[in-house]
Amino acid sequence: MNEANSTLSNLKNQLKTYQTDIEKVFKKIQSINPEISSNYEKLVTTFLFVNDENELTWINNHSPLTAFVLHSQLTEQYEKLRELILKEVLQLRLELEQNEPKQPFDLEQELFDLRLRKRYLHLLSTYPHKLTPRSTLDEIRQTYEQLTAALRAQAKDKLKHLWDQLDVPQDQRLIPQTKENQDDYLAMIDEIQRLEAYVESIRSILVKIQKREWFKREMVEFEKRAANPARLKGSSTQLLREEKFS
**Verdict on whether the full-model pTM lies above 0.75:** no
Q: What is the pLDDT of residue 2?
A: 56
Given phi > 0 = left and psi -120 to 50 = alpha, else beta, which region is 127? beta
Confirm if 131 and 143 have CB atoms less than 8 A apart.
Answer: yes
d(CA 150, CA 156): 10
91 has a pLDDT exceeding 90: yes
208 has a pLDDT exceeding 70: no
188 has a pLDDT exceeding 80: yes
Secondary structure (DSSP) of 54-76? THHHHHHHTHHHHHHHHHHHHHH
DSSP state of 102: P
Q: Report H helices in the chain.
A: 2-32, 34-48, 55-61, 63-95, 107-124, 137-147, 149-166, 185-201, 203-226, 236-245
Domain residue spans of the chain: 2-95, 148-201, 204-245
Q: What is the pLDDT of residue 216?
A: 64
Over the chain, what is the mean pLDDT? 78
d(CA 176, CA 166): 18
Q: On the CB side of 165, how many CA atoms lie within 13 Å of its CA?
A: 19
Average pLDDT over residues 7-24: 76
Cβ atoms within 10 Å of 230's Cβ, excluding its own? 7
pLDDT tens digits, one per residue of 146-172: 888 888 888 889 999 988 888 888 888
pLDDT tens digits, one per residue of 16-48: 788 888 888 888 888 877 777 777 887 788 777
